[in-house]
Amino acid sequence: MNETQQPTATEVIADGHVKAGHAQEEPMHDDHSHVAAHVNKYLMVGGLLLLFTGLTVFLSYVDFGTHKMNMAVGMVVATIKAGLVAMIFMHLNAERQLIYRILVFTVFFVLALFFLTYLHWYDPISR
């Protein structure tokens, strides 16, 4: 190829492999720093999960007045931990709208199950 010709979409290099051609090669990205940033994020979220697990254990020894209130506080901490796992480790923070629609449906379904549990606590027939 001479100086006036533009490179083609693919070029065959000396050993027979096909290489995508561009006028200039893009510089190599520093993959190590990219991976290190993700690892640091995962370690930070893992530390937060350990912190919230310790908080859960600590709150299990605290009496909030009623058994129902103790359960509600435990569910709030568990919901925060589940949200962290879903958003970071399951990569839902970078998903498209369809995933969020399914996630919203799932949240409504879980809330409906919690409501059924609430109704069971106050069912006059079972008392």
pLDDT digits (tens, 9 = 90+) for 74-118: 989 999 999 899 888 887 777 777 777 888 899 899 999 988 888
| CA–CA dist 91, 108 (Å, integer) | 21
Q: Does residue 43 lie within any of the structural domains?
A: yes
| CA–CA dist 77, 56 (Å, integer) | 7
Q: Does residue 14 lie within any of the structural domains?
A: no
| CA–CA dist 100, 90 (Å, integer) | 13
For 33-50, write each residue's pLDDT tens digit.
778 878 888 999 999 999
* pLDDT of 68: 87
CA of 99: how far to CAs of 39, 104, 121, in Å? 24, 9, 33
Print the domain residue range for 78: 30-121
Q: How many domains are there within the chain? A: 1
Q: Does residue 9 lie within any of the structural domains?
A: no
- pTM value? 0.53
Element (H, E) at 106: helix 97-121
Q: Does residue 76 lie within any of the structural domains?
A: yes
Copy the structure tokens of residue 62. Answer: 């605290």
**What average pLDDT does the structure give for the chain?**
78
